[in-house]
Structure formats: C-alpha cells, structure tokens
Structure 1
Amino acid sequence: MSNSSENGQRSLFRARNDCGGRGRGHRDQVGGADRRRIAGADALAAVVDVAILDRFEILSRTVPGSDVTGVAALRVYDLSTGNTVGLSPAAGSASARGGMLWWSTGTAEATRWHSLDLRTA
C-alpha cells in the first residue's frame, strides 16, 4: 500500500517475512529511493491505512502470548521525525480513519477503548 509523502513522492510501508518467519518493516519511496528501516523483526502494520496523514505508520509489536491472545504492543512511527512512540503495551484491536486512531485494551468482559487525534500531533 502506498500514500503520498510531504515531498509529493509516493511512499510505501512494507512488512516482509524472511525465511525464518520474522517480519521486517521498511518505509520506501516508490522506485526504491530513501529506504528506511522503521521497525524490527517483531513489528507488523496494525491498521490497513498506510502513512496516515502522510506522516504516521501505526505498528503492532508481538508480545509473549500474542499468537494466543491477539494482544500486541501498539506504536506510532512518525515519518517526519523518525521517532516511535508507544501507545499501549497490550492493545487488542486498532483502527484509524480521518486522522483519528482508536484501539482497545482489556478483556472481552471489560473492554476499554482509547483514541488519539493524530491531527493534533
């Protein structure tokens, strides 16, 4: 998936698996220019949208038990600064639309929802 970056070029976030089943997250310009590794081997894209507001990648990081519980750490990578900020050590579900990000924490019996307006960052 791709999106326009601030310089007008198309950018792309790719999560690939190597032969060992580990993921690697890269941010590329279409055509391969300005490739940056933005996430480690345990990171995945947490939402379907790429480069929200042409600035933010929403990533999840597996934690012990993720394969059973579906819970993962939730992070936001800022393409403009290169910084990653942790939002939750145990998020269950995450979605984004129109510059808003929301995610759940807790259990099925006691789910709590959180939101972040990325337009204010």
Structure 2
Amino acid sequence: MRDGFFWFSEAQFARISPHLPRDTRGVARVDDRRVISGIVHVLQSGGRWRDAPRDLYGPHKTLYNRFVRWAAKGVWAETFHALAVEDGPPVVLLIDSSAVRAHRCAAGGKGACAPKPSAAVAAGAPPRSMR
C-alpha cells in the first residue's frame, strides 16, 4: 500500500508477471505493475475507473482497456487459477452461507409455497380487513 492506495510488492508482482501476456506489438506497453495495481485499486474501492489517481496508476482509460482486453483473452482467469494451484490444496476450506442455495419458500419471497390462512378465519371470527 502506498498512502492508502493499493500497490503490488516486488514479491507479489514476481508471482504474477510470468502469467501476463508478452505478445504486444507496436508501441511499448506501459508498466504492468503500475496498471495492475491501479486495476486492483479500482476493483477494491468499488469506485469508477475515472477516480483512480492518475499520478499513481496512469490514465484511467489505460486501466479500463487493459482490464477489458485481458478479461476477453482469459488472462485474469488463467492467472487466478495458476496462483491458486501453485501453493497446492488449501489447508482450510470455508463455506459462506450465501453460496448455499435455499428453496424460494425458505425466504418467504414472491412465489413462496401455499399462502397460510389467517388465524382469525381458522377460528371462525370475522376477518379484520375490509374488501
């Protein structure tokens, strides 16, 4: 981190750099470490590409274009997969409850199971609401 902004350390970037594409043509590509740090900063903060500090990460258009192009080429998925496999199987696995699907009846949302009759109707009392 640089004064509250994300920045890859030398060791972190050394693990990522072998997985980055090297098949560029034309104008030399700007510093990958700077651009990828900017992409991670934008994704972590949830802000707009335009809000990334230009003096630290470079032009926002470069950050956006590199993110989109590499996503289309599958660079991000391959990199994440390679980094995950690199250290072997995890020692501890965690399951988040949001990953477990529940039946739509469980949440009581639209399309729930059969509607439950009012206790007043079941007891023979007149209903409380008017039509």
Instruction: Establish whether TM, by shorter chain, passes 0.5.
Output: no
Higher strand proportion (structure 1 or 2): 1
TM-score range, shorter chain: under 0.3
Which of the pair has more CA radius of gyration?
Answer: 2
Higher helix proportion (structure 1 or 2): 2
TM-score w.r.t. length of structure 2: 0.19
Higher relative contact order (CA 8 A, sep 6+): 2
